[in-house]
Amino acid sequence: MANIIGGITTSHIPAIANAMANGLEETPYWKPFFDGYPPVRDWLNEKKPDVIILFYNDHGLEFFIDKKPTFAIGVADEYHNADEGWGIPTIPPVTGESDLSWHIANSLVEDGFDMTICQEMKVDHGLTVPLNLMWPGYNYGHVKVIPVCINCEQHPMPQPKRTYALGQAIGRAVASFDQDLKVAVFGTGGMSHQLDGERAGIINREFDIDCLDKLVSDPEALTKYSNLDLVEIAGAQGVELNMLIAMRGTLIGEVKELHRNYHAPISNTGSGLMLLEHTMPKK
């Protein structure tokens, strides 16, 4: 049986990639951010997950608003990054995992989730930055990644209660997969930020910290928010909280917080790193 061993929340902003490419990790601006990561890397290196299910949002590399999926899942054996137009380095291919991916896709469609299923898919910084943060130097080729993409760009977007339900359905699907695999789930993006409009630059530290608390002990409380609430409280791109909520949804058993590091600002955002250990529910 496949087993979800834990969940991780992390920022995915492109500035991180630039900082890493330019070796700025120890500069005063970046140090408090990067100092949060070694314990999570250690945990990953110790637990050695086979598969990472990674919730992110495409920022206009693979998907354009000509055809914008609400939920897309990759089922390929390899994914490529590409030029995103603003000069962050292109990163090496990401290994995929088609068997478990198809199993999850089948299970989701059966459960009434109307997935867009991708056999070929370019993955952008939303996915590649977190991988490189966890395995610096692009040393992530050994882990198989299942990308799950949530629309956080164009309204209407799936509501927090729906993304949580998606996460739960993925958690059940993993639990019903008959191969022995260790799976870790990443919820990437956020936390509070707004890039556009006169309100650009807002960060809500108090709210972000409350969200991290709730992600541990009371995720259902977060599903009470609408996306409009999130925009109001956490900024226009604060809706990226949906990816963190989806991640938490997959943790259908017991969770224990092992590590947390909140730091703001990183670029225009509040950045929340958290590691939750997960024990699958008893059959």
Partner 1 sequence: MAKLLGGIATSHIPAIGVAMDQGLENTPYWKEFFEAYPPVRDWLYTQEPDIAIVFYNDHGLEFFHDRKPTFAMGAAAQYENADEGWGIAEIPPVTGETELSWHIVNHLIEHDFDITVCQEMKVDHGLTVPLTLMWPGHKYGHVKVIPVAINCERHPMPKPSRSYAFGKAIGDAVRSFAGDQKVIVMGTGGLSHQLDGQRAGFINKPFDLYCMDKMVDEPELLTCYSNYELVEKAGAQGVELNMWLAMRGALEGEGKLKELHRSYHLPISNTGAGLQLLATDNAR
Partner 2 sequence: MTQTVDIPGTIMLDGPMATKGYPLNKMCYSFNNAAARNEFKQDEEAYYEKFKLTEEQRDAMRKRDVIAMLEAGGSIYYLAKFAGLLGLSVQDVGGLQTGMTTEEFKAFLVKQGEI
Chain residues in the site for partner 1 (CB under 8 A):
62-63, 65-72, 105-106, 109-110, 112-121, 154-159, 162, 165-166
Which C-beta is closer to partner 2: that of 117 or that of 258? 117
The contact pattern for partner 2, residues 118-147, with x = CB under 8 A and - = no contact, is: -xx---------------------------
Query: How far apart (Å, rounded) are the C-alpha atoms in residues 123 and 268?
Result: 22
Q: Which residues pair with 152 in a beta bridge?
A: none
Shortest reach from residue 38's CB to partner 1, in Å:
37
Using CB under 8 A as the binding rule, whether residue 80 contacts partner 2 is answered as: no
Q: For residue 224, count other CB atoms closer than 10 A to its CB.
A: 9
Pair of tokens at residue 63: 């998907």
Residues 6+ apart with CB under 8 A from 14: 84, 86, 88, 125, 129, 267
Using CB under 8 A as the binding rule, whether residue 105 contacts partner 2 is answered as: yes
* 182-188 vs 51-56, strand pairing mode: parallel
Which C-beta is closer to partner 2: that of 102 or that of 135? 102
Shortest reach from residue 105's CB to partner 1, in Å:
6
Which C-beta is closer to partner 1: that of 72 or that of 212? 72
Within 84-103, the residues that bind partner 2 by CB under 8 A are 98-99, 101-102
Residue with tokens 């061993």: 5
Shortest reach from residue 63's CB to partner 1, in Å:
8
Classify burial at 90, counting beta carbons within 10 Å of its beta carbon; exposed 0-12, middle 13-18, buried 19 or more: exposed
